Amino acid sequence: MTRPVPTDHRLFADVRHLIDAARQRVASVVNAELTQLYWQIGRRINSEILQGQRAEYGKQVIAELAKQLATEFGKGWSERQLRYCLRVADIFPDAEILHTVCSQLSWSHLRLIIQIENPLKRDFYLEICRFPRQA
């Protein structure tokens, strides 16, 4: 029976750091892609379906779309999620601005920020989140 070869603690720490850093980069890319997906969905629903339509019609469209998406992709596609998609597309009409924001903030952060009705307050919180103060 062969004995395990002890590894250098520094080697383990370095490899662990590489793995953690790669995981963080992957999570960041996935978050940015999902946020852009949600924006595209919201923009598409707004521009092609809801624009100029009555509120009641919009509710029906969202409810039916959520039902179909949940059947196909799972429970993460609720009416609430679609409303978040619509809201993010309203708040960030420019894809480039959204791209910059979602590279710095997670979807969870954006979901909270887009619920702030006052644009001045919303922009203030966006700036605070994007550029945290250095200690």
Question: For the segment 33-68, what is each residue's pLDDT rounded down to a tens digit?
Answer: 999 999 999 999 988 776 656 667 778 889 999 999
In a domain, residue 100? The reply is yes
For residue 118, the enclosing domain spans: 22-130
In a domain, residue 95? The reply is yes
- How many separate domains does the chain show? 1
Query: Does residue 5 surpass a pLDDT of 90?
Result: no
DSSP string, 35-95: HHHHHHHHHHIIIIIITT--HHHHHHHHHHHHHHHHHHH-TT--HHHHHHHHHHHHH--SH
Cα distance between residue 8 and residue 54, in whole Å: 67
In a domain, residue 79? The reply is yes
In a domain, residue 6? The reply is no
Query: Does residue 134 surpass a pLDDT of 60?
Result: no
In a domain, residue 9? The reply is no
